Structure 1
Amino acid sequence: MGLIMEIVPVVIVGGIVVYVIERLKHKYNQGNLGKKKSKGAQDLLDSLIPMGMIFGCAIGVIVGMFFPISLLSTVSLGAGIGYLFGFLAYEIYSKKGNIHS
């Protein structure tokens, strides 16, 4: 039972990662990836997904410290959920003032 509880979060995160990568690949093939006018705005857009993962890992560590859940599970779930939220933020921010090349 313990091994299953360690593997399930990793499988969930794997599903999230495959979904996000396929969506980004689809947007790239259609030529719809977000482009911004200024370099600062483009840098922010490009850093949303990694920032989401970092914040998700931090939240996972904090949750793992206060609850009797394995640190592996909380960090992997935190990173995966942060990855998904970073992607959603990327989608929202890229639609505002989008310039297609």
Structure 2
Amino acid sequence: MWLVMAITPVVIVGGIVVYVIERLKHKYNQGNLGKKKSKGAQDLLDSLIPMGMLFGCAIGVIFGMFFPISLVFTVSIGAGIGYLFGFLLMKFIVRKETIIHK
């Protein structure tokens, strides 16, 4: 059981990270990664993934306090899910502005 709890977060978060990196690489190669004109807007866009990871870790800590699951497991899964949500939010914001400006 401990082996499953040790390997599961690595597999899940590793899959999420590979997916996000491949999508970002694809967007970069197409030239539509989402560059903003103002520095403040670009900083906000660049900080969505790290902020998603922080919020995911916080939710993982809270979840780990109330359920009998290892704290390392919940924090790592929370960070991975936050990484994915940060990417999806960044993708949504860039797509929304692309649709508006066309």
TM-score by length of 2: 0.90
Residue in structure 1 matched with residue 86 of structure 2 by the alignment: 86
CA distance in 1, matches of 2:35, 2:84: 20
- The answer on whether the counterparts of 1:10 and 1:73 sit within 8 Å (CA) in structure 2 is no
Q: Deviations over 1:27-61 (max 9, x none)?
A: 11111100122211111001000000000001101
Residue in structure 2 matched with residue 95 of structure 1 by the alignment: 95
1:26 has 2:7 as partner: no
RMSD of aligned alpha carbons: 1.0
**Any runs of at least 4 consecutive aligned residues in structure 1 with deviations exceeding 3 A, and if so which?**
none
Residue in structure 2 matched with residue 39 of structure 1 by the alignment: 39
Residue in structure 1 matched with residue 3 of structure 2 by the alignment: 3
CA distance in 2, matches of 1:9, 1:79: 10
**RCO higher in structure (CA 8 A, sep ≥6):** 1
Q: Which runs of 5+ in 2 are unaligned?
A: none
- Structure (1 or 2) with the greater helix fraction: 2
The count of aligned residue pairs is: 98
Q: 1:93 to 1:36 in 2, by over 3 A?
A: same
2:8 alignment partner, SS class = helix
CA distance in 1, matches of 2:54, 2:35: 23
CA distance in 1, matches of 2:60, 2:11: 16
CA distance in 2, matches of 1:36, 1:83: 21
Q: Which runs of 5+ in 1 are unaligned?
A: none
